[in-house]
């Protein structure tokens, strides 16, 4: 049985099936700002960063004002797309509820801004569910470890007793920078094989595999459902 006290989840591409909408909003913003388009693979490669950092990664030539204009276009498009919230992946809600019953502390560490994170948490009835959530605009962007260090301090847990679960290289590099083990998620932004270099303790292509792995005495058949 893996021995952890705290589970920290990325949001987009790990808990919520929102990657397609992020790509759409990024491409819409680029077109609105008369910038050369970036393809879906390029956009997926920056998911996990805070939005200003993501924009500059795709368009390093932009000045502060241009980044602000791009950010406004992105936000307008994304909020419109999220009029119906991106669904949680299969097994996520059941898994989170099981983790809570089993006594884990639970947290979210996301590249979203606080306003966006609060909006989606409320939409899914999870606004009071997690012990702590951290958003990119109130701390340092991934892969800097500050976000995780703040979560660990709040929860009173050492990094070796916590687990970061994410679908991007930024998630797993952040965990490495914090001295925390990680789980690689292969159904989000990045293919699983590209995340194995970060030496995750577990690699999954469906959320229920994590739930089964963290449950003592689960029958082996349950691990492949």
Which residues are identified as catalytic? 10, 12
- Cβ-proximal residues to 191 (8 Å cutoff; 6+ apart), any chain: none
Please tell me the distance from the alpha carbon of residue 28 to that of residue 98, in angstroms, as a whole number. 38
8 A C-beta contact, residue 163 and residue 105 = no
Please tell me the distance from the alpha carbon of residue 111 to that of residue 7, in angstroms, as a whole number. 17
Please tell me the distance from the alpha carbon of residue 45 to that of residue 190, in angstroms, as a whole number. 7
**β-sheet with 182-185: strand ranges across:** 132-135, 105-110, 6-9, 162-166, 182-185, 202-204
Please tell me the distance from the alpha carbon of residue 169 to that of residue 150, in angstroms, as a whole number. 20
The one-character DSSP state at 108 is E
Please tell me the distance from the alpha carbon of residue 23 to that of residue 225, in angstroms, as a whole number. 30
Tell me if residue 199 falls in helix, strand or coil.
coil
- Cβ-proximal residues to 201 (8 Å cutoff; 6+ apart), any chain: 2, 163, 181, 182, 183
Tell me if residue 109 falls in helix, strand or coil.
strand
């Amino acid at each position: 049985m893996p021995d952890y006290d705290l589970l920290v989840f990325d949001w987009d591409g790990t808990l919520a099936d929102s990657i397609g909408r992020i790509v759409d909003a990024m491409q819409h913003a680029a077109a609105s700002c008369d910038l050369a388009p970036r393809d879906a693979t390029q956009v997926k490669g920056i998911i996990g960063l805070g939005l200003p950092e993501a924009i500059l990664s795709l368009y390093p030539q932009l000045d502060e004002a241009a980044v602000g204009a791009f950010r406004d276009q992105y936000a307008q498009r994304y909020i419109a797309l999220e009029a119906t919230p991106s669904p949680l992946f299969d097994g996520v809600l059941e898994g989170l509820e099981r983790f809570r019953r089993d006594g884990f502390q639970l947290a979210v560490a996301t590249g979203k801004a606080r306003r966006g994170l609060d909006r989606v948490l409320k939409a899914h009835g999870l606004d009071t569910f997690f012990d702590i959530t951290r958003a990119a605009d109130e701390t340092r962007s991934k892969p800097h470890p500050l976000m995780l260090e703040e979560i660990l301090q709040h929860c009173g847990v050492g990094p070796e007793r916590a687990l970061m679960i994410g679908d991007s290289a930024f998630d797993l590099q952040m965990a490495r920078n914090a001295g925390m083990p990680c789980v690689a998620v292969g159904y989000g932004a990045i293919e699983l094989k590209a995340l194995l270099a970060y030496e995750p303790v577990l690699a999954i292509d469906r959320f229920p595999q994590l739930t089964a792995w963290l449950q003592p005495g689960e029958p082996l058949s349950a691990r492949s459902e």
